[in-house]
Amino acid sequence: MLRVLSCITVEHSLPHLIFAIVICVLGSMLSMRLFTRVRRSQGLQKTNWLFLSGFVGGSTIWTTHFIAMLGYQTPVANGYEPTLTLLSLFAAVATTMIGFAIASIAQNSALIGAGGVIVGLGIAVMHYVGIAGYEIEGRLDWQTSYVVASLVLAGLFGAVATNRVCRPITRFCRHGAALSLILAIVLTHFTGMAGLTILPDTTVAAPAEIISDGIMTGLVSAVMIIILALGASTYIIDMQSTQAAVERYRHLSLHDPLTNLANRAAFNEHLSALVNKPKDMTANIAVLSFDLDRFKEINDVHGHAAGDTVLRAVAERLSRIMQNGQFVARVGGDEFVAVMCDYFRSDAKGLAQRMLDEIARPIEWNTVGSSIGISTYPGQADTLDDLLSQADIAMYRAKSTATNSICFYEPSMDQAARERNALASEMREGLARGEFELFYQQQNDTVTRGIVGLEVLLRWRHPARGYISPVEFIPIAEKTGFIIELGEWVLRAACAEAATWKNPLRIAVNVAPQQLGDNRLPQIVHQILLETGLPAARLEIEITESGIIADHQHALQAIRRLKALGVKVAMDDYGTGYSSLSTLQSFPFDKIKIDRAFVDGVVTNKQSAAIVRSTLILAASLDIPVLAEGVENEDHIDFLRREGCLQVQGFLFGKPGPRSGIEAIVNGEVPAVQQETVLAPVVKKSAVA
């Protein structure tokens, strides 16, 4: 160690050392950042990034070495033999590219480390080839122990560098990779030089054709400046392009593709910011909830294209009348929510009346109306969910009064809440009485149209009310916590039925956020698989993004434990949340399910098509299969097939039906394409159903 320190401080000039270190630090940081792009890229783009990262990395190694050599103080005249000097540059670039290539395609730590070892040993090869071209009037005497130590240090820190890049992205891993490469270069050079002793010998003459120190200084400086400038500019341009794409994708994720209004995620974000923003004690927030009367009639009589035209017209009119401090969003099919801050009661009623006037203006196919419910904050609401719920309650009261009515929320309207509590009690009794049953919907291959799996959906056949929509009972189950018991019943019943099928199709079962948050979920799934005998590979758990946002670490651990059982995990309703991009980077999903809201408009709406296309491209780059929901016609499946989507689900192939409707398919009696499924009531899918 003392010999190495002596070599650095005594035998090298300080200005050259500083210059070499600056080049080494800048070049190493840039090289490892470029290498991260190699890991994330595919195809020709991967090759381009590999060439650039290897070229910059090799040039960094080479220039660091020769700048340090230019500062190496010797008692005899010296120079550099051209052929070996250029060969050392080629060796540095080639070995760095090869090492990065192996580390970029490897999936296990051993191969990733092996790629790093090649990069490290390439540093040593460049060093000793460069020294071989170092011409002096004397002889070079080597101490073997230092040479061996330099090789070990090169391989060790090279392996650490690539391993740090390939770990989950953290600040330590990102900077640790560059630091490891810096140490590999610096320690290899100075440990090797510590083992070198120059013995002057007047009988040894330097060759006539050598590169002098002055020429070498200019050559090395020019090469490194050009390489660093090229690499940095390329990286910056790509980073800016990526950032622009992310911002564009975020915009698409936060806006409704049909109307270009803000969607539910954007509205929640905006409302949360208003509530949490410091304000004067007299400031208030009003939430206005409304939907369109007679909208279903327009869809039924004139078709969905007419309904889309009505929604776009209404959205455009509402956007036009919004003023400072006012915000409107489309949060469902024909459901809208507006918010205004710093209002008086008359102001909120005035905005509601202006919206009603705009909605009531004639539209091409028909005239629609609305009724608006208003809730206020601060008021009786304790949470944002309460605030929105109160606005909905007020809206339903307004709708029961007359068309184009405006109603403010009052506590007496909470009769509906009492009815929900009664329904919650009936749910528990209904589960015990066997009133719940499983329905199934096909999941099909876009090319062969054959069935690749079945999604399990939950239905409640109430003895008095008939089928109750999951949209009505699932939110109640979630709010009361009954969803955990109900969800476990669905999992057990679905696995038990699927285990009896002769045709071993995969089943997909929705898991609610509360279930995912339950520490016992992986254990419950494991127990159910053992009890029913269903192979784990036939079970696919579907989770929504809302189920993982609250506690990323807990959700990640639960998903990993499920995958360790052999169960597949799919992300449901992709595109409806604004953090989906970062979610896919963090969680090991086996499948992405594109929400039906985007599929419905892929043929007629550019924004829907852009979101679906972007999702397919992103999933392909991450090697994650995609299933598109809501496929209702041949135009949908043609678009999805062209864009590379391999699996679909929707009414084109059949509506959800009970076990009796899929008996022939699951027992292999007839081809899947001939099966006519039993039609079920058309309802929106919930977190479990």
Q: Which two tokens stand for residue 572?
A: 């449901």
β partners of residue 285: 341, 377
Task: Give the C-alpha separation, 318 to 356, whole Å.
Answer: 9
| Residue where the block lists tokens 């794409």 | 245
Residue given tokens 């200005």 in the structure block: 15
What's at 645, amino acid-wise?
C
Q: How far is CA 130 from CA 31, 68, 134, 157, 231, in A?
A: 21, 12, 7, 21, 24
Q: Which of 88, 61, 76, 92 is closest to 213 using CA atoms?
A: 76
CB 20 within 8 A of CB 71: yes
Closest CA to 34 of 104, 92, 89: 104
Max Cα-Cα span within the chain: 112
Could you give the CA distance from residue 614 to residue 335 in angstroms, rounded to a whole number?
Answer: 26
Query: Which residue, among 494, 435, 431, has the nearest Cα to 463 in the 3D structure?
Result: 435
Quote the CA–CA distance of 551 and 687 in Å, as a whole number.
18
Q: Is 28 exposed, middle or buried (0-12, 13-18, 19+ CB in 10 A)?
A: buried
Distance of alpha carbon 190 from alpha carbon 192, whole angstroms: 5
Residue closest to 502 by CA, chosen among 658, 647, 662: 662
User: Any long-range contacts for 525-533 (C-beta under 8 Å, 24+ apart)?
Assistant: 525/491, 525/562, 525/565, 525/567, 526/565, 528/488, 528/491, 528/492, 528/495, 529/495, 529/565, 529/567, 531/492, 531/496, 532/492, 532/495, 532/496, 532/498, 532/499, 533/499
Structure tokens at 659: 């076990």
How far is the C-alpha of 525 from the C-alpha of 183, rounded, in Å?
Answer: 48
Candidates 492, 510, 499, 532; CA nearest to 456 is 510
Of the listed 137, 478, 542, 629, which one is catalytic? 629
Helix H, strand E, coil C: the string for 353-366 is HHHHHHHHCCCCCC
The dihedrals phi and psi of 666, each to the nearest 5 degrees, come to -70, -20
Torsional sign, CA 601, 604, 605, 611: positive
Distance CA 357, CA 102 (A): 66
Question: Alpha carbon 565 to chain centroid distance?
Answer: 23
Q: In 571-601, which positions are buried (b, 16+ CB within 10 angstroms) versus exposed (e)?
A: bbbbbbbbebbebbeebebebbbbbbbbbbb
Q: Quote the Cα angle for 112-114-119, to 5°.
A: 100
Residues in the chain: 689
- 220: nearest Cα among 77, 73, 50, 24: 24
Is 485 a residue of the active site? no
How far is Cα 436 from Cα 454, in angstroms, rounded to an integer?
A: 18
Q: Six-digit token pair at 395?
A: 């809206």
- Helix, coil or strand: residue 300: helix
Quickly count: other Cβ atoms within 10 Å of residue 122's Cβ: 28
Beta-carbon contacts of 267 under 8 Å, excluding residues fewer than 6 positions away, are 327, 329, 331, 337, 339
Q: How many degrees, rounded to 5, is the angle at CA 86 between CA 82 and CA 91? A: 145
* Of residues 305, 271, 272, 276, the one with CA closest to residue 289: 271
The token duo for 334 is 């024909």
Question: What is the set of active-site residues?
Answer: 629
